[in-house]
């Protein structure tokens, strides 16, 4: 592509037919999955053109998930920071308490269209697992969720929740026993069951069409927020902030703003204990271009290409990869990516609870921690919209433990 | 290209004699490179036709529990890609069966495809299997591999539709790796009946030899494949035996003998009846 045509093209016009976001994305998977991915791409494209499919999804999102959720002006937080006006997009108010259900509703309808009866998923924080279990319960599909043993420990409320919904939770004890290993295990399952099983990936990662499809299903976050901001303030925000694990709540939040050049977009990664390898999960801040889980993107890996261990107090951000569209946004400069430490996130969680009466998920607390900093840099007539991707109920045991309290 | 690659000429000789190729797969560096090199020599002595050397990778989605665990063991001991190249370079590879590097695209990409392939060929590898690089993405890699006189092995799975298989075969060289079952590597009791059907059809589409892998456990399955395939690959069954290496000198000797005996039984089973 020549530079001329590239610059004329809106940043939102990706991916191309082979799943390329600029140079990123594509498909790096075993041959066994290739045909299924092609079929899925075709089915998804057909569904997107099908008014019945879209109407059914809309109806589910409004009557079952509870959309649209509010864009809430956080008055006391704004006062506390003394700068820009802070708005929160309340994904925490969705059924199951996070943005993940936007995607599972869309994909479960696709599963039905394809006539598949079994669904598998991976989960880190357990929010995607719960959202998948709920979607499968709602439609009577068989559901298996892979989850790292370490995450099973720190997110036990969600494990119980999934089992209540009839899902089978399979512990993964290989590697770092976290999200990355759960994805490996789900992919392996899919390799041998692909004919009758759909894999509902929980973020904008994996081979094409997943990064595009999950982004599209999550883009309702940004579409609503954009409209709600125009309604409340009669103008677009100056900055939009969201946390980045695999990158789905942020991709869904950013995508409808990508062509609005006046809106600054900021993705917040998990800075963990600090910048040393193994101490954080800031893939875009410290990673290299590479291949992981079927797609080409930034990855935290060593000089041989082996994936590195990562750390975050947040199970949902504890991932060494990131969706390919984020890599594209990073390299084109459209989105700025920053990093927030464990301690900063934990402090933001408590401030938010005390000042607004909202207990955010540890993941979302990373975005909030950065919003505090950003608001202070901006004047009082500027507007910041933060994606509050989920609520903190799932985290109470872990937060109590980190604060030195025992709930048992 | 008029001159045959090492892999192609290995298959030509076998075909002439009416034999099938036997290709064992081993993990490099499990438990260490010294053990890997002694297994390679042992396999060479027992008359195997090609040897696939697996490059341990942190996230091998195409592999089942046995190979995955052996990759993890090797990496936990600090194995690096250079250790594999150095080890293989120390072998008299011209006197050994052709060695095929089985490596994730993640490893090739990180080093740079050109650099990885060049170093691998210089150290003695004759071909490459990149299980997570589908034919659609493999064009440039294929050119690099070919320019170094080696083969990039294409894979076909039971899930591959015919029109897709035809496209893949256009790029085939060395042999075609026919995956016997949809799923990951690992030993299975049966081979699906559709497999022979697919092999027979592939045979009408290409002259490149067809080798069957994934799930093959021993000599008893060779006869089923005798007429339909040109070679068989055994991975997990051997890697499991390798787990006995590195425990004690006696353990090493026992494991090596077990691998050798197994390899010989496979070589015999694959010779013309
Ligand atoms: C509440 C919440 N926010 C964010 C994330 C991170 O995922 P993503 O970056 O895909 O939005 C998760 C993942 O589990 C989550 O539960």
Residues A234 and A365 in one domain: yes
Whether A306 and chain B come into contact, CB under 8 Å, resolves to yes
Please check the confidence at residue B18 and state whether its pLDDT lies above 50: yes
Residues A168 and A52 in one domain: yes
- Whether B157 maps to a domain, the answer reads yes
- Whether A12 maps to a domain, the answer reads no
**Could you tell me the CATH number of the domain that includes residue A318?**
3.40.50.1100
Alpha carbon dihedral B124, B129, B135, B141, in 10-degree steps, equals -30
Structure confidence at residue A361 (pLDDT) = 98
User: Which DSSP state fits B92?
Assistant: -
Structure confidence at residue A234 (pLDDT) = 98
- Whether A170 maps to a domain, the answer reads yes
pTM of this structure: 0.97
Neighbours of B100 (CB within 10 A): 28
pLDDT per residue as tens digits for the range A48-91? 999 999 999 999 999 999 999 999 999 999 999 999 999 999 99
Contact B179 A28 (CB under 8 A): no
Mean pLDDT, rounded, for B228-240 = 95
Domain endpoint, select from A214, A230, A265: A214
Domain endpoint, select from A180, A214, A248: A214
Reply yes or no on whether B63 is catalytic.
yes
- Whether A271 maps to a domain, the answer reads yes
Domain endpoint, select from A162, A182, A214: A214
The total number of residues shown for chain A amounts to 408
- Whether A3 maps to a domain, the answer reads no
Closest CA to A245 of A402, A127, A94: A127
- Whether B1 maps to a domain, the answer reads no
Residues whose CB falls within 8 Å of the CB of residue A157, separated by 6 or more in sequence, listed in order: A126, A393, A394, A396, A397
Residues A144 and A84 in one domain: no
Contacting A with CB below 8 Å, chain B residues are 57-64, 68-69, 72, 75, 80-81, 104-111, 131-137, 155-161, 164, 168, 179, 181-184
Structure confidence at residue B243 (pLDDT) = 87
Map tokens 């709602």 to a residue: A138
Whether A197 and chain B come into contact, CB under 8 Å, resolves to no
Residues A177 and A108 in one domain: yes
Closest CA to A22 of A322, A329, A245, A295: A329
- DSSP labels, A202-265: SSS-SSTTHHHHHHHHHTHHHHHHHHHHHHHHSS--SEEEEE-SSSHHHHHHHGGGTT-TTSEE
Q: Are A220 and A61 spatial neighbours (Cβ–Cβ below 8 Å)? A: yes
Residues A115 and A169 in one domain: yes
Mean pLDDT, rounded, for B115-122 = 98
Q: Are A283 and A299 spatial neighbours (Cβ–Cβ below 8 Å)? A: yes
Q: How far is A253 from chain B (nearest CA, A)?
A: 30
Question: How many domains, chain A?
Answer: 2
Structure confidence at residue B3 (pLDDT) = 83
Enter the tokens of residue A285. Answer: 């801040």
Helix A342-356 vs helix A362-377: crossing angle, to nearest 10? 80
Neighbours of A303 (CB within 10 A): 11
Enter the tokens of residue A62. Answer: 């409004």
Residues A121 and A263 in one domain: no
Q: Cα(A389) to centroid of ligand 1, in Å? A: 7
C-alpha span between B225 and B157 (Å, rounded):
16
Neighbours of B217 (CB within 10 A): 15
Judge residue B187's burial from the number of C-beta atoms within 10 Å of its C-beta, 0-12 exposed, 13-18 middle, 19 or more buried.
middle
Q: Cα(A82) to centroid of ligand 1, in Å? A: 28
% of residues, chain B, pLDDT over 90: 86
- Whether A408 maps to a domain, the answer reads no
Among residues B32, B49, B63, B151, the one annotated as catalytic is: B63
- Host domain of residue B201: 6-270
Whether A377 and chain B come into contact, CB under 8 Å, resolves to no
Q: Are A106 and A404 spatial neighbours (Cβ–Cβ below 8 Å)? A: no
Contact A301 B106 (CB under 8 A): yes
Neighbours of B10 (CB within 10 A): 22
- Host domain of residue A55: 34-60+100-214
Low-confidence ranges of chain A (pLDDT < 50): 1-7
Whether A196 and chain B come into contact, CB under 8 Å, resolves to no
Structure confidence at residue B190 (pLDDT) = 80
Judge residue B193's burial from the number of C-beta atoms within 10 Å of its C-beta, 0-12 exposed, 13-18 middle, 19 or more buried.
exposed
If DSSP codes are grouped into helix, strand and coil, which group holds residue A142? strand
Residues A302 and A205 in one domain: no
Residues A188 and A252 in one domain: no
Residues A206 and A256 in one domain: no
pLDDT per residue as tens digits for the range B163-218? 999 999 999 999 999 999 888 888 777 888 899 999 999 999 999 999 999 888 89
Question: How many domains, chain B?
Answer: 1
């Amino acid at each position: 592509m020549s530079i001329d045509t590239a610059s004329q093209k809106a940043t939102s016009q990706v991916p191309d037919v082979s799943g390329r976001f600029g140079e990123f994305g594509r498909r790096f998977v075993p041959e066994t999955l290739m045909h299924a991915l092609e079929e899925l791409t075709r089915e998804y494209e057909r569904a997107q053109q099908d008014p019945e499919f879209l109407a059914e999804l809309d109806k589910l999102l409004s009557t079952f998930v509870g959309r649209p959720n509010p864009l809430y002006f956080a008055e006391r937080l704004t006062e506390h920071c003394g700068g820009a006006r802070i708005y929160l997009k309340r994904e925490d108010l969705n059924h199951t308490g996070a943005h993940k259900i936007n995607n599972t509703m869309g994909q479960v309808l696709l599963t039905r269209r394809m006539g598949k009866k079994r669904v598998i998923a991976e989960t880190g924080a357990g929010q995607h697992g719960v959202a998948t279990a709920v979607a499968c319960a709602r439609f009577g599909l068989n559901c298996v969720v892979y989850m790292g043993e370490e995450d099973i420990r720190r997110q036990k409320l969600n494990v119980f929740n999934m089992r209540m919904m009839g899902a089978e939770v399979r512990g993964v004890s290989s590697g770092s026993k976290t999200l990355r290993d759960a994805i490996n295990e789900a992919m392996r399952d899919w390799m041998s069951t692909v004919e009758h099983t759909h894999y509902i990936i929980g973020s904008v990662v994996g081979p094409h069409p997943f990064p595009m499809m999950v982004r599209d299903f999550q883009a309702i976050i940004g579409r609503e927020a954009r409209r709600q901001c125009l309604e409340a303030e009669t103008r677009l925000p100056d900055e939009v902030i969201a946390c980045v694990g695999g990158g789905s709540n942020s991709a869904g939040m950013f995508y409808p703003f990508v062509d609005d050049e006046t809106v600054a977009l900021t993705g917040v990664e998990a800075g963990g204990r600090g910048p040393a390898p193994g101490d954080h999960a800031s893939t875009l801040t410290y990673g290299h271009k590479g291949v992981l889980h079927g797609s080409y993107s930034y990855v935290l890996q060593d000089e041989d290409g082996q994936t590195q261990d990562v750390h975050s107090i947040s199970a949902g951000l504890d991932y060494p990869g990131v969706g390919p569209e984020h890599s594209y946004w990073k390299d084109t400069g459209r989105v700025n990516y920053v990093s927030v430490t464990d301690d900063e996130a934990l402090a933001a969680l408590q401030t938010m609870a005390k000042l607004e009466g909202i207990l955010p998920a540890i993941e979302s607390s990373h975005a909030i921690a950065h919003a505090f900093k950003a608001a202070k840099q901006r004047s009082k007539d500027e507007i910041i919209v933060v994606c509050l991707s989920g609520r903190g109920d799932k985290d109470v045991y872990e937060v109590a433990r980190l604060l030195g309290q025992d709930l048992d | 290209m008029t001159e045959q690659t090492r892999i192609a000429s290995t298959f030509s000789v076998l075909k002439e004699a009416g034999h099938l190729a036997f290709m064992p797969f081993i993990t490099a560096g499990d438990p260490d490179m010294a053990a890997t090199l002694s297994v390679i020599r042992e396999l060479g002595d027992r008359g195997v036709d090609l040897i696939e050397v697996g490059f341990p990778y942190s996230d091998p989605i195409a592999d089942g529990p046995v190979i995955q665990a052996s990759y993890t063991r090797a990496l936990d001991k600090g194995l690096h890609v250079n250790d594999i190249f150095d080890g293989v370079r120390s072998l008299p590879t011209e006197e050994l069966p052709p060695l095929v590097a089985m490596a994730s695209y993640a490893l090739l990409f990180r080093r740079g495809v050109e650099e990885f392939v060049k170093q691998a060929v210089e150290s003695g590898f004759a071909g490459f299997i990149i299980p997570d690089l589908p034919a659609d993405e493999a064009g440039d890699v294929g050119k690099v591999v070919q320019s170094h006189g080696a083969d990039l092995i294409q894979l076909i799975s039971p899930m591959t539709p015919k029109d897709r298989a035809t496209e893949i075969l256009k790029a085939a060289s060395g042999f075609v790796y026919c995956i016997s079952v949809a799923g990951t590597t690992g030993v299975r009791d049966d081979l699906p009946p559709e497999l022979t059907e697919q092999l027979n059809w592939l045979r009408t589409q290409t002259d490149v030899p067809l080798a069957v892998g994934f799930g093959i456990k021993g000599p008893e399955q060779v006869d089923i494949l005798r007429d339909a395939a040109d070679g068989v690959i055994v991975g997990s069954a051997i890697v499991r035996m390798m787990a006995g290496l590195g425990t004690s000198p006696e353990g090493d000797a026992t494991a090596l003998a077990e691998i050798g005996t197994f390899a010989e039984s496979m070589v015999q089973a694959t010779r013309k009846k």
